[in-house]
Amino acid sequence: MSSSPFPSCFRPSPTTDLPPPPPPPPPPHSAISNVTIYHTDTGPVSLTWSRSVVGRSLHIQLHRQSFDSISYQLHIRPFVFWKKHGVKKIAPDTVLFWNLAKAKFGSNPEPVSGFYVALVVNSHMSLLLGDAARDAYSKSRAHQPATPQLLLLKKEHVFADRVYSTRATFGGRAREIQIDCGFRDHSKLSFSVDGEKVLQIKRLKWKFRGNERVVVDGVHVQISWDLYNWLFDKNNADAHAIFMFKFEDEEEEAVADRNLTGLWNLGVCEWGKTWSSSSVSSSGGSFGASSSVLEWSSVEENELVVPVGFSLLVYAWKR
């Protein structure tokens, strides 16, 4: 029996006999959800921003260090008479404040500017989202938290024909990440940060699954990819690619390590399952057929795959 304190889903599978779980079904274009997980001084907080034909919504859940949780669903209606700001007491010591009256939205479910969402626990600002921090503190009268919040995990869906774009903050500033899967010619895959190419993969039909480590302005970034469904799905019904970026920020390692138990309780193991692809293994022969990306993305570095720093999980879908 293994003496490791980590869940089995964070370790390479001891056998390749069992088939992997099926990949996630394609999300309908009318209903998209992005998930983020933050470390706070009162426990991990998960947020799910969703967009559908009837509007947008935010589901926020605080997982306390005592392993209980509280949650609230905020519906963002596209109607003039919808109250775009408010206060809700969701627990005896926890209050949610929000103001989306001037929020600006892009293609993603979450707003990009002109808003705040604040979670106040015991009169301290546990979590604060948005660019209207001064208004949030003025409205809530909350005190500064004992430790700053830290974004640990984000899962999002992007749609394009060729070049997929997303954003991530690392190395002290926000950066644009572009993933070029090719258009008609799927023999190459390249990754760029702020317009500068940092990694290119050739002969994708042989290297449709893999991982590489690069350095961007002193930050180590481990990039993992799985393009099996993208390249080999004949019906085009599940034509998506999956990418994971792990930004290994040394200043955040201690905070992330202290919060691993809470993350596992949030279901990070379930995230690992979504990385499982086809039963066809990479021709490189380095990884077993049933290994998931979370299992094999760090096999060459460590025996365990531990979420240190910020990790970005991207599902790329063809339009």
Amino acid identity, residue 95?
A: V
Tell me, what's the pLDDT at 183?
58
pLDDT value of position 240 = 83
**Which residue has 């057929």 as its token pair?**
289
Q: Give tens-digit pLDDT for 237-278.
A: 667 889 999 998 655 544 444 444 445 444 444 444 433 333
CA distances from 222 to 19, 294, 318 (A): 26, 12, 24
- Output the pLDDT for position 234: 67
Mean pLDDT of the chain: 75
| Phi and psi torsions of 151, nearest 5° | -75, 125
pLDDT, position 135: 96
Domain residue ranges of the chain, discontinuous segments joined by +: 8-26+158-318, 41-148
| Residue 18 clears pLDDT 70, i.e. is over it | no
Instruction: State pTM to two decimals.
Output: 0.74
Please say if the pLDDT value at position 283 is more than 60: no
Report pLDDT for 262: 45
266/257 Cα distance (integer angstroms) = 15
Instruction: Please give the residue that has the higher pLDDT: either 288 or 69.
Output: 69
What's the CATH architecture for 8-26+158-318?
Beta Barrel (2.40)
pLDDT for the residue 264: 44
Average pLDDT over residues 155-169: 88
Residue percentage of the chain with pLDDT more than 70: 67
Highest mean pLDDT among 14-18, 152-156, 159-163, 179-183: 152-156
Q: What is the pLDDT of residue 278?
A: 30
Mean pLDDT, range 302-311, rounded to an integer: 53
Q: What are the structure tokens assigned to 137, written together?
A: 């503190």
Strands 116-121 and 219-226: unpaired
The confidence score (pLDDT) of residue 251 equals 54
User: Residue 210 above 70 pLDDT?
Assistant: yes
**pLDDT score at 186:** 65
pLDDT tens-digit readout, 101-123: 999 988 889 999 999 999 999 99
Task: Give the percent of the chain with pLDDT over 90.
Answer: 41
Q: Mean pLDDT throughout 153-181?
A: 89
Residue from 223, 154, 159 nearest 26 by CA: 159
